[in-house]
Chain A
Amino acid sequence: MHHGVIDGGNQSGIPYGRGWEFFDERYLGKPLVYCGTVGRMPVTVGGRPAEEKGARPGDRIVMVGGRIGKDGIHGATFSSAELTEESPVQAVQIGDPITQKMMFDFLLEARALDLYSSITDNGAGGLSSSIGEMASAPGGARLDLAAAPLKYHGLAPWEILLSEAQERMSVAVPPEKLDAFLELARRREVEATDLGEFTASGIFHVLHGERTVAWLPLAFLHDGLPPMKLVARHAPPSGPEPAALPEPADGAAGAALAAGLLARHNLASNEDLARTYDHEVKALSAVKPWVGVHRDVPSDASVMFVDYDGPTGYALAEGIFPRYSDIDARAMAEAGVDLAVRRVIAAGADPERIAALDNFCWPDPLPGPSNPDAEHKLAQLVRACRGLHDICVAYGVPLISGKDSMKNDAVVGGRRISIPPSLLVSAIGIVSDARRATTLEARPQDQVLVLVGETRDELGGSEWAAARGVASYRVPVFRPEVWAARYRRVADAIARGLAGAAHAPGPGGLLPALFRMARAADAGLTVDLGQIPVEPGPGAPPGWEARLFAESGGRFLLACAPERLGELLAALGDEPAAPIGLFRPERQLTLTLAGRALVDAPLAQLTAAWKRAGEARA
């Protein structure tokens, strides 16, 4: 998998902004790879808004890039089917990054010359999907598959139409520009082939030479699928909460416990793996994926300049909490949005200018003999969508793109393995001046640590619960309608320079966040856990486990100079916020509660554990 990303990513010349991994045994049958891409385009092309595209009747259908082979036939069906030993090898597409790169370069050149009117990638469904989609603007298409360039002989017409062989784009070229388009492609050593024309016939008409092989009214093609009627039934798990663990016997015992948590795959450093990806090509990076004195702590968000000539930048971050789905997929979706949004704000993004991308990967929600809990999986989907909708509306974050993959199940050794419902949320936020972007690195003057936001007794689905091997059902509760105002205040405080460093606690809770800030500053940190804002709620106030490990949303860690503390707290208004600790030169992480040291750990001990896990994997 890493080789694929290295070859495909690095050779594309697109900087690889973020890299991370999430582990759960249920991905054994179907490992997922998520990729989000940010593009920049001119405001206008040929005098028209660049985002407007649409083939017109008479435009030529031109396929550009690689040739068509049997590889990738049924690729989409395959990625949405249960994986077994009998799954076909040819369903996997064979990548050829250099062909793709040469095609990209050519298409950018052709775009600058305004040589095409519409463009779509050949992804799932190949030509059937790309031309079928593009045909909806002009109102029809006539496509000759016999003209399509093949890798080798022996493909049936349906295989040519459906192949998902990679590195291909479909383009609509006005007839008067066809010669110029094809001539430029020849000069750039990129294959481009005229496959027919867009029409206004209302028909998706596919020929192989003289022979018609498909003749489908567009109305049927696009709107002919009757909506499915499915039953969703939410069957949330419940049970007694696990007994609280006794406090660590002393600071050293707490240190061993902290080291064990930091060594877990989902919290450990994966720096060495992520450094195999080029994150600096194009020379627009302002905050790299790795920050801190030792450049080994993952940044909350990567920040890039938009261009060479101005300070405007954008921050990219993500959030994903698949294990929350075991309790409530709504919380899973909310947690992803909340963390991604907090991360870009921590980097200096404007809360009014954040957008997000939603990528759903789900276990099969269709009923069947081997899928007894399909109704629950569908209910999880409904709840996740509602949660996603509500939190995005509350934060004013539009979902500008997204994708879904709905059958992530495998049968291994006769046993069905379904992935946990997994929504990846990727946020992009505008940073008006990337030269003033913030990271979690406290500078020497940033000596005071402030925690904003309440910590609650909600360890359900947490990394801590997984580490303990216990089931807790108290999944974090999200209050975006309350937190939206808080995030604006935090963003204002950061923009005014009141906080020199900012960090959004995420998976694992406060403890890993405190460790990362200490490691990034290469300094010690002493924190009084008795000072953290807590919300008692109906039950008991959070105990030591919740204070250290609860993944409550809505929280920021801010570091500031002692003389700015008053100003910072004033800027936060009535938000729950408190100074909780101090940085210090001795590299020791000391966390106390009621006068007792829960964790007293040399930074070196924690760092070694955090890195060793990563190395063992590499």
Chain B
Amino acid sequence: MSGAVQVLIPTGLGLNCEAETGHAFRSCGAEVDLVHLTDLFTRRHPRRIADYRVLAVVGGFAYGDHIAAGFVLATRIRAHLRDDLAAFLAGGGLVIGICNGFQTLVRLGLLPGPDAGPHDFVPRAALTNNDRLGYRNAWVRMAADPASPCLWTKGMGNFDLPARHGEGKFVVESEAVLDRLEARGQLALRYAGPDGAPTVAWPANPNGSARGVAGICDPTGRVLGLMPHPDAFLHAWHHPDWRRSDDPAGRIAPAGLEIFRRGVDAAARA
């Protein structure tokens, strides 16, 4: 095995973004294993989650989003893989959950996670139906919290990503909880308006999340979940404006790839 960062991408059961997410990590120099979830559940796959440095839970419709988005998958992960996952997290592994993966991590309790101490797998938030009901595929502007501990989004500023979901509105118990998450920089990514500032206004904010929340991290900054798809902005030609742009370092510079690069680099350093 080489010294490259080892990435585990579980597949199957309705997930559908494994190919592009795998390509994204490989483009950043990582080695990627796409492993069917049933082989992880039954331990047929020879390696444990803790044998990897990065776990990516990709987008899709696990179990058809029956009951609620991410619900059945989170329940099965909890039943089969909780101890493995706890060992992986205790060892400093990084996690990214994208769209359906984010929904799954929230159901699992990995996000936003406990205020202190090891992960306890207690759900403390939900991602629910968009205010404007229904699925929507459109590009949105992001604003990364510069003070966030998130290792995946450090120094990202404003950038564009496509949003593709119907259940993306981030909800917690109270304003006080939101205040606490915001104060600790856990509201890592917000939907931004044309001025670059967080917004709750549609369509810049596609789901009506309070304070424009698009992605959150755990207190360590190693676990990130986000609704928009960094896996669909890996080169300039993914951006809807590439034909009119003459600045390859500007808005069409592939910000999605930058998120994966930051994760891989952080995993290599850890």
A residues apposed to B, CB below 8 Å: 6, 10-13, 96-98, 101-102, 105, 109, 187-189, 275-288, 290-291, 293, 295, 305, 308, 434-435, 437-439, 441, 443-444
Residue among B36, B135, B244 making CB contact with A278, cutoff 8 Å: B135
29 pairs, A vs B, C-beta closer than 8 Å: A6-B134, A6-B135, A10-B61, A11-B14, A11-B65, A13-B60, A98-B64, A101-B64, A105-B36, A187-B36, A189-B38, A275-B137, A278-B135, A278-B164, A280-B137, A280-B229, A280-B238, A281-B164, A282-B19, A283-B19, A283-B231, A285-B238, A291-B240, A295-B138, A305-B237, A308-B19, A438-B243, A441-B243, A443-B244
Given contacts A283-B231, A288-B240, contact A98 B14 (CB under 8 A): yes
* Apart from A101-B16, A283-B20: 6 A-B pairs, beta carbons within 8 A: A10-B61, A105-B12, A283-B23, A290-B240, A308-B19, A439-B243
In the complex, chain B residues whose CB is within 8 Å of the CB of A277: 135, 137
Residues of B within 8 A of A441 (CB): 243-244
Q: How far is the CA of A433 from the CA of B191 in the complex (A)?
A: 33
Contact across chains for A281 and B12 when beta carbons are under 8 A apart: no
Q: How far is the CA of A105 from the CA of B65 in the complex (A)?
A: 17
Is the C-beta of B96 less than 8 angstroms from some C-beta in chain A? no
Quick one: given A188-B36, A295-B240, A443-B244, are A283 and B14 in contact (CB under 8 Å)?
no
B7 within 8 Å of A (CB atoms): no
- Shortest beta-carbon contacts, A-B, top 3: A13-B16, A98-B64, A283-B20
Q: Does B2 contact A (CB under 8 A)?
A: no
Interface residue B94 (Cβ < 8 Å from any Cβ of A): no
Query: Is A282 in contact with B20, judged by CB distance below 8 angstroms?
Result: yes
Contact B12 A188 (CB under 8 A): yes
Which single residue of chain B is at the shortest CB-CB distance from A284? B20
Closest chain-A Cβ to B26's Cβ sits at a distance in Å of: 9
Residue in A closest to B61 when the chains form the complex, CB atoms: A11
A181 to chain B, nearest CB (A): 16
CB contact between A105 and one of B11, B42, B66 (< 8 Å): that residue: B11
B36 shortest CB reach to chain A, Å? 7
Contact in complex: A98, B20 (CB < 8 Å): no
B24's closest neighbor in chain A, by CB? A283
By the criterion CB–CB under 8 Å, are B42 and A187 in contact? yes
Query: Which chain A residues border B240 with CB–CB below 8 Å?
Result: 288, 290-291, 295
A102 and B16 in contact, given A10-B61, A97-B64, A439-B243 (Cβ under 8 angstroms) = no
B168 within 8 A of A: no
| Chain B contacts with A in 4-48, Cβ cutoff 8 A | 11-14, 16-17, 19-20, 23, 36, 38-39, 42, 44
Interface residues on B, range: 35 or more
Q: A10, B135: Cβ atoms under 8 Å?
A: yes
Is there an interface contact between B14 and A280, defined as CB atoms closer than 8 Å?
Answer: no
CB distance from B169 to the nearest CB of A (A): 17
Report the nearest A residue to B132, measured CB to CB: A272
Residue from A97, A101, A276, A282 in contact with B135 in the complex, judged by beta carbons closer than 8 Å: A276
- Chain B residues, CB < 8 A from A276: 134-137
What 0/1 readout, one digit per residue, does chain B (71-101) give for beta carbons within 8 Å of chain A? 0000000000000000000000000000000
Structural contact, B136 and A11, CB atoms closer than 8 A: no
Q: Tell me the B50-65 residues at the A interface (CB within 8 Å).
A: 59-61, 63-65
Say yes or no: is B234 at the interface (Cβ < 8 Å to chain A).
yes
The answer to whether A187 touches B16, judged by C-beta atoms less than 8 angstroms apart, is no
Q: Give the residues from 126 to 169 in chain B that come closer than 8 angstroms, CB to CB, to chain A.
A: 134-139, 162, 164
B232 part of interface (Cβ distance < 8 Å): yes
CB of B225 to closest CB in A, whole Å: 18
Chain A positions within 8 Å of B11 at CB level: 105
Most buried by B among A10, A276, A281, A438: A281
**A443 to B14 alpha-carbon distance, docked (Å):** 40
Check A102–B136 contact: CB distance below 8 A.
Answer: no
Contacts of A438 in B (CB 8 A): 243
Q: Given A275-B138, A295-B138, does the pair A280, B61 have CB atoms closer than 8 Å? A: no
From residue A433, how far is it (CB to closest CB) to chain B in Å?
A: 10
Q: How far is the CA of A587 from the CA of B137 in the complex (A)?
A: 28
A189: chain B residues within 8 A (beta carbon)? 13, 38
User: Chain A contacts of B60 at CB under 8 A?
Assistant: 11, 13
Once the chains bind, are B66 and A98 in contact (CB under 8 Å)? Answer: yes
* Inter-chain contacts of B14 with A (CB < 8 A): 11, 98, 101-102
Chain B residue with Cβ nearest A296: B138
**CA of A276 to CA of B132 in the docked complex: distance in angstroms?**
12
Residues of A close to B20: CB separation below 8 A: 281-284, 308
Chain A residues whose C-beta falls within 8 Å of the C-beta of B13 in the assembled complex: 102, 189
The docked-state distance in angstroms from the alpha carbon of A435 to that of B238 is 10
Q: Is the CB of A435 within 8 A of B237?
A: yes
C-alpha spacing A482/B134, complex, angstroms: 48
Which residues of A are found within 8 Å of B231, using beta-carbon distances?
283
Interface centre among B20, B38, B162, B244 (most CB of A within 10 A): B244
